[in-house]
Amino acid sequence: MDFSLILVLLTFAMGFIWALDVALLRGQRAARAAAAGEGAEPPREPALVEFSRSFFPVVLAVLLIRSFLFEPFRIPSTSMMPTLRVGDFIFVSKFSYGLRLPVLNTEIAALGRPERGDVAVFRLPSDPGTNYIKRVVGVPGDVVSLRDKRLWINGQPVPLELTDEIERVECGGFWFDARVAYETLNGERHRVFLGAQRDRSSPFLDRPVPAGQYLVMGDNRDCSRDGRIIGYIPEDSLVGEAVRIWMNWDAEAGRPLWHRIGNRIE
């Protein structure tokens, strides 16, 4: 079940129980206590009411923060290496691309839209219960191409600086050597991995990105199920912009990689 739905239901249930007690049940308990006389022990607050009164503010705060400010996510795959690694825990800004009601996903305030180079979290259009994270490489109207590992946008090559650095990368149980390069989108420089595979053909490249939709790719270009396969991402599938790594846990080392904690996602 959708965690946002669980939070909404819990908030409503606890708020209703607390309000019902304030409006009706508390007065009935006070009346019974008065009728019993001064020496009688006052009736205790029901456990469910006490629980709801205590935890309603906490659950409401979590719902509001998670829905409108920041939501935590964990990186499960290597598709965004070297920018994000398996074991990174990140914060996603929920207001970067507009405020939306939880569960209904209805936009209530248009505060911004994705730009080229943003690292965005979105719901997979074919499976809204699954979240993906990729880099935005094409906004509405852009024509994105991939030639010899280099992105071209609207007929212009995206700046790409190759390095001599090689990193061994796992991809679906297989390992390959990836070259580290620096790509610049919208004036922001970030690292990407380039393997030896040929550029993928795709029906979503070399054509204008439709209005209200976006084209995304993983920074690990030869190991990413991204817009080249899943197609364009509609605005109403956007969750938010990945902004910072708040925790890391390296499963192989059995410890955090301290140098990654707190890093801004570029």
3-state secondary structure 8-25: HHHHHHHHHHHHHHHHHH
Query: Taking the model in full, what pTM does it have?
Result: 0.89
Contact by Cβ (8 Å): 71, 91? yes
Decide if pLDDT at 184 tops 80.
Answer: yes
| Whole-number percent of the chain with pLDDT over 70 | 97
Average confidence score pLDDT of the chain:
93
Is 79 designated active site? Answer: yes
Contact by Cβ (8 Å): 120, 187? no
Peptide bond into 82 cis (omega under 30): yes
Catalytic residue among 134, 145, 149, 237: 134
CA–chain centroid gap for 8, Å, is 19
* Mean pLDDT, rounded, for 252-260: 92
- The pLDDT score that the predictor gives to residue 25 is 86
Catalytic residue among 52, 67, 79, 96: 79
Out of 36-40, 89-93, 157-161, pick the least confident.
Answer: 36-40
Query: How far, in Å, CA of 185 to CA of 193, rounded?
Result: 15
- The pLDDT score that the predictor gives to residue 198 is 85
Query: How far, in Å, CA of 236 to CA of 114, rounded?
Result: 12
* Mean pLDDT, rounded, for 91-100: 95
**For residue 114, what pLDDT band results from cuts at 50, 70 and 90?**
very high
Q: Which of 19, 17, 8, 22 is nearest to 48 (CA)?
A: 17
